[in-house]
Amino acid sequence: MNGVSGAEEVLWDLSDLYSGGDDPQIEKDLSESQQRAQSFASSYRGRIGEMDAAALARLLGEYEEILELSGKAGTFTYLNWSTNTEDPARGALLQRLQEHSSQLQQQLLFFELEWAHVEDKRAQELMADEALAHYSFWLTLARRYRPHLRSEAEEKILAEKSVTGRSAWIRFFDEVHGGARYTLDNQQLPQQSVLTKLYDPDRVQRKRAAEAFTTGLQNMRRVNTYVFNNLLADKASDDRLRSYPSWISSRNLANQIDDATVEALVKAVTDRYGIVARYYTLKKKLLGLDELLDYDRYAPLPSANRRYPWQEAMQTVLDSYAGFHQEMGRIAESFFSNNWIDAAVQPGKRGGAYSHGAVPSVHPYIFMNFEGTPRDVMTLAHEMGHGVHQYLSRDQGILLSDTPLTTAETASVFGEMLVFQKLIAEEKDPRIRLSMLVQKIEDTFATVFRQTAMNRFEEAIHTARRSDGELTAERFSELWMKTQNKMFEESVTLTDNYGIWWSYIPHFIHSPGYVYAYAFGELLVLALYSRYQDSPEGFPAAYRDLLAAGGSNWPEELVRPLGVDLKDPKFWDKGLSMIEGFVEQAEAMAEV
């Protein structure tokens, strides 16, 4: 986007964590957490199985306090580094924290190992005791990992080597892409600025942006291929050592969902790829093109030349949240008034967006790159959903405030829906309403269909790496194009340039297997929002309670009070039919 967005000075204030990277309190907190971990191990090692419920509850309280100290420092160093990945001092501090975290993990891991191996009858008696009521669910979850845990000595080695293994490769990938510049119109632009131009109404500009991005990725091809291969091999090794049956099993266990449910979700979505082809056939007609190419997918309609300055985007999000639930609106307002958001596009800043839950004693922070596009407004709404969720769940404590990734996306996508419904309800021009609906369809496709297609790519590369050995860049590209073409069913022509676009997506690097959680969350939100429209009475309060519960129960139990049954085999089809309904609505509006 050319010009200013109003977010150039929207920078977060991290002083609620520390005053800066040179704050001596960082080292003090790290030292204290290390000392307390040593004392914790000396006091409790070898005793977990013989402790009564009250003693175990006191132990868990100490455990959380240690994690809080270390987590506060870890949060600051990651946030501080995210806004300037090219600063060596910030990178060094991040590395210092990763090494500290590994050492702390090694000192504390005896606890979960011993607890996982407490005899079943005794463990059930303890978890049923009132003294452990708050921690009972977390203790249940910890025991599920028993088949995949190794001895303490082996776990320590794995933790130690991860610092110079997986964690190091992830940081390297982020720094390479954070520092990369792409040549477009005689300018050196960061990743986010180039990708934003794929939403430009000028087709020539979109094509040039796609070509510039492709050239930049091609220049990094050797590095990216090597990083991907190493992390795929690392994942295979870890799964083998821990006896996980497939590449996705550990992710599913963490998401508190079984392999069969994930397979059912993926099958339901891939079976409805025809919805994608139906929509892009319509979009080709709306754009007046004979052929829709990959860089045309996000082209706005001619009536959609709309920009949102930061203040308008902020007010839209605040009104949407407050209109749904007053407390949620007040929490959202605190992000803006207290400078808990970093939205300015700056050199060295990593791409993308996230909300970091920090630690329960502080508050979340939102990170994004705002350039004033309609999609940026949705991103703000999305991350604010995470932020409100993380803020409300803090009372659960550090062990139970986080949710599995499947339900973690619920609040964010629901926030997007609130903002979308407000924007489209207030818009009177039918042409702009159509363009807004088109954008919503494309966002939903990106969350459900594209993420599932990326899951199919991950399935392919993890499987191929394990069976065939190191993969070439050409092999990655072949699998990428195959899985992406299946989704479009020839409604979009993917150019040869698009073949290298697998290599910049951070989810494959940071969180293998993560992407299906977006589809899960989107389809869940469609069901929840439908329920809200049908029976609004009492829904906002029940939804607020869902967010405040954090990860204190199984996902299916948390959403049950809102009238959703995650075990219903028809659940996915309901959400997919709603998406098809959006496409039908767009087709009808286009004929008017």
**Predicted pLDDT of residue 304:** 62
In sign, the C-alpha dihedral spanning 306, 309, 310, 315 is negative
Structural domain contains residue 554: no
Question: What is the Cβ-side half-sphere exposure of residue 325, based on CA atoms within 13 angstroms?
Answer: 23
Exposure of 43 by Cβ count < 10 A (0-12 exposed, 13-18 middle, 19+ buried)? exposed
**CATH code: domain of residue 36:** 1.20.140.70
Identify the domain boundary among 116, 135, 164. 164
- Same-domain status, 118 and 213: no
- For the chain, the domain total comes to 2
Identify the domain boundary among 510, 542, 575. 510
**Predicted pLDDT of residue 427:** 84
- Same-domain status, 30 and 150: yes
Identify the domain boundary among 164, 196, 211. 164
Structural domain contains residue 574: no
DSSP 8-state secondary structure symbol assigned to residue 66 = H
- Same-domain status, 208 and 155: no
- Same-domain status, 22 and 104: yes
pLDDT in tens, 332-370: 999 999 999 999 999 889 888 999 999 999 999 999 999
Angle between helices 88-116 and 53-82 (to 10 degrees): 160
- Same-domain status, 126 and 186: no
**Predicted pLDDT of residue 497:** 97
**Predicted pLDDT of residue 465:** 98
- Same-domain status, 140 and 61: yes
pLDDT at 592 over 80: no
Structural domain contains residue 117: yes
More confident residue, 273 or 151: 273
**Predicted pLDDT of residue 1:** 43
Mean pLDDT of 193-204: 92
pLDDT in tens, 174-193: 999 989 999 999 999 999 88
Structure tokens at 303: 């009536």
pLDDT in tens, 536-588: 999 999 999 999 999 999 998 999 899 888 877 778 888 899 999 999 999 99
- Same-domain status, 185 and 73: no
Domain that holds residue 105: 14-164
Rg (C-alpha) for the chain, rounded Å, is 24
More confident residue, 300 or 275: 275
Structural domain contains residue 450: yes
pLDDT in tens, 136-175: 999 999 999 999 988 888 888 988 888 889 999 999 999 9
Least confident piece of the model among 7-21, 103-117, 170-184, 517-531: 517-531
pLDDT in tens, 16-32: 999 999 999 999 999 99
**Does residue 173 contact residue 506 with C-beta atoms inside 8 Å?**
yes
- Same-domain status, 149 and 190: no
Query: Tell me, what amino acid is at 251?
Result: R
**Measured between alpha carbons, how far is 415 from 559 in angstroms, rounded to an integer?**
16
Collapsed DSSP state (helix, strand, coil) of residue 90: helix
Report angle CA 384, 390, 391 to the nearest 5 degrees.
90
Structural domain contains residue 133: yes
- Same-domain status, 222 and 147: no
The overall pTM is greater than 0.85: no
pLDDT at 289 over 90: yes
Q: What is the largest CA-CA distance in the chain?
A: 75
Structural domain contains residue 410: no
- Same-domain status, 31 and 153: yes
Angle between helices 136-143 and 120-127 (to 10 degrees): 160
Structural domain contains residue 73: yes
Collapsed DSSP state (helix, strand, coil) of residue 270: helix
Share of the chain above pLDDT 90, in %: 80
As a three-state string, the secondary structure of 133-192 is: CCCHHHHHHHHCCHHHCCCHHHHHHHHHHHHHCHHHHHHHHHHHHHHCCEEECCEEECHH
Average pLDDT, the chain: 93
Mean pLDDT of 77-98: 94
**Does residue 212 contact residue 182 with C-beta atoms inside 8 Å?**
yes
Exposure of 425 by Cβ count < 10 A (0-12 exposed, 13-18 middle, 19+ buried)? exposed
- Same-domain status, 160 and 201: no
Angle between helices 516-534 and 451-468 (to 10 degrees): 160
**Measured between alpha carbons, how far is 57 from 73 in angstroms, rounded to an integer?**
25
pLDDT band at 287 (very low <50, low <70, confident <90, very high): very high
- Same-domain status, 458 and 487: yes
Exposure of 327 by Cβ count < 10 A (0-12 exposed, 13-18 middle, 19+ buried)? middle
**Predicted pLDDT of residue 2:** 47
Structural domain contains residue 369: no
Q: Which residue has the tokens 């580094």?
A: 81
pLDDT at 477 over 80: yes
**CATH code: domain of residue 280:** 1.10.1370.20
pLDDT at 241 over 60: yes
